[in-house]
A and B are shown apart, each in its own frame.
Chain A
Amino acid sequence: MNLAQRSIRLCLYSTSAQVSRTKWDLMSAVCLERKPVLSGELNEIERKFSRMLADIELENSHKSDHEVRYETETLQAELLKSKSLDLDIEQTLQQTAQDFEDAAVDEYNKFVFESRITEADKANDLQNLERKLDRHLLLLVQQKQWDQKIWALPQGLQKDGETMLQTAERVLREKCGDDLTVQFYGNAPCGVYKYKYPKMFVSREEEGPVGAKVFFFKAQYIAGYVDHNKLKLQEFKWLGREELMSSLSQEYYRNISQFLIDEE
């Protein structure tokens, strides 16, 4: 008798098994992300293609007012030179198209754009949200589990009468303070992580939960800061995708990466 048959038989014949089936703790966790603030750099082929489109656009276009003006002025200047006509004072006082262009270029060059690499990038400040502006950042908090501290998404047990989403909202408030404004993406969890408690911490009785199911809810960071006081001894950090692996356990990371949106 193979395994499938046995399991079917078990389902068919065991009415009592349903009642005393394994019990799981239900937990909600918040997958809070800061979305990219800056657009990414174009890669090789994108740059080439956009340059080609710009070329074709220019070839098919007509001349602008500025170009027409520029051409007539150069023509006039040539005429003036060749025939050495008397200079019209009114015309010389006018700003020529070339002058205008120079002034515009000058103004553009003087303008200082904010750098895409911020102070937080240079200091590698993991708690600062202004790091890696063109990437996703994910909030991790340090939590005590059994006898050790681990990094994980903020999570907590579900209370009676709460839906899972309400649990997630409460957990985030409890862990990170009220200052954080976020937008949850919906009532449904986006992923689950199931794990069994280690044997030495589980009560010997049959009734107790054997493990926990953590349901993840995605949320987008809108504004505010994580409250330092609220966290007490706990720590937090905002991590990019490529930094997650080193902070999380392999099993946990595998589960999380199932529902994270890829970056280029």
Chain B
Amino acid sequence: MIGCLDVDVGFRCADRCLLFAEPLKKKKRIDPAILKQREERKKKRLEKQIRRLERNAKQLKPIDELEVPLELVDGKKERMREAAVITPAVEEERALLTKDWTRYKRKQHLKDMQMIDRLMFAQQKALDELRQESEELYQAAIQINPTLLPFTVRGPVKTPPIKGYDSPDGEYTDVSKKCVVNNHWTGVVNPCLQVYESNCTEEQNM
């Protein structure tokens, strides 16, 4: 009840305030010629930006790795290997070997799964035993340790390292192309679109 009453009073106040307000201001008139000019200027500015974008759009950093070198495309024919003769016997042998392989990998996978089950069971048992002794220690044990990751290990390798072996450096040629970022107008339009100068200078230390 009280709520309704309050709302009612509020409305009445609002009504009265509206009636007491000063008359609305007349809207300022602008010369249509000026308006048109303004619009034109806006349009021009946009067009200029678009033109600049289009001009620069073709100058993205080239990715050489994605293109097949021309000499390979040209010499494809002479690089073709004469098709090896695969006798039915070899084909049969390969098929059988592949089947053997899948069986072998399946067995290996099953064994792995069983091992993981065993490890998890052992850990769960340890945690249960710990909980029986002390809730506090249990809580400390199940905390995640964020410092463990990332964890890097190296190896294993085929042969052990030779002790005291001084590895020869070899000849080092830096063939990476250097591209200069041309960003004199970055921030005007799209900052993500970094444009590189089209003539990438190829530097090679010979």
A-side residues, CB < 8 A to B, are 24, 26, 35-39, 45, 48-49, 52, 59, 61-63, 68, 112-116, 118, 130, 133-134, 158, 163-165, 183, 185-192, 194, 213, 215-216, 220, 258-259, 261-262
Contacts and interface: CB of A to CB of B under 8 A. Distances in A.
Given A62-B80, A114-B162, A188-B127, 11 more contacts: A37-B155, A45-B100, A49-B97, A63-B79, A116-B160, A163-B141, A164-B130, A164-B141, A188-B126, A190-B123, A192-B130
Given A189-B127, A191-B122, A213-B129, A37 B79 contact: no
Interface in B175-197: none
Contacts of B130: 164, 189, 192, 213, 215
Contact of A192 (B79, B125, B159): B125
Closest 5 pairs (CB-CB, A-B): A192-B126, A163-B140, A259-B122, A189-B126, A62-B79
B123 A259 contact: yes
B2 interface: no
Contacts of B75: 68
6 contacts: A26-B133, A38-B159, A63-B80, A114-B160, A187-B144, A258-B118
A188 B141 contact: yes
Contact of B145 (A48, A164, A187): A187
Given A37-B156, A52-B94, A188-B127, A59 B140 contact: no
A115 B100 CA distance: 32
A212 to B, nearest CB: 11
A118 B160 contact: yes
Nearest to A49: B101
Contacts of A36: 155-156
B156 A39 contact: yes
Contacts of A220: 153
Interface of B: 75-76, 78-81, 83-84, 86, 94, 97-98, 100-101, 104, 111, 115, 118-119, 121-123, 125-127, 129-130, 133-134, 137, 140-145, 148, 151, 153, 155-163
A163 B115 contact: no
Contacts of B97: 45, 48-49, 52
Name B's interface SS: helix
A37 B155 CA distance: 6
Given A164-B140, A164-B141, A258-B118, A192 B129 contact: yes
Nearest to B119: A259
A197 to B, nearest CB: 16
B148 to A, nearest CB: 6
A151 to B, nearest CB: 21
A258 B115 CA distance: 9
Contact of B141 (A45, A130, A187): A187
Contacts of B98: 49
Contact of A62 (B76, B84, B141): B76
Nearest to B159: A113
A186 B126 contact: no
B123 A45 contact: no
Nearest to B143: A187
A159 B6 CA distance: 68
Contact of A116 (B104, B122, B145, B159): B159
A190 B119 contact: yes
Contacts of A215: 126, 129-130
Contacts of B79: 62-63, 68
A57 B145 CA distance: 44
B160 A191 contact: no
A38 B156 contact: yes
Contacts of B119: 190, 258-259, 261
B124 to A, nearest CB: 10
A115 to B, nearest CB: 8
A38 B100 CA distance: 26
Nearest to A193: B126
B142 to A, nearest CB: 6
B155 A35 contact: yes
Nearest to A191: B122
A59 B122 contact: no
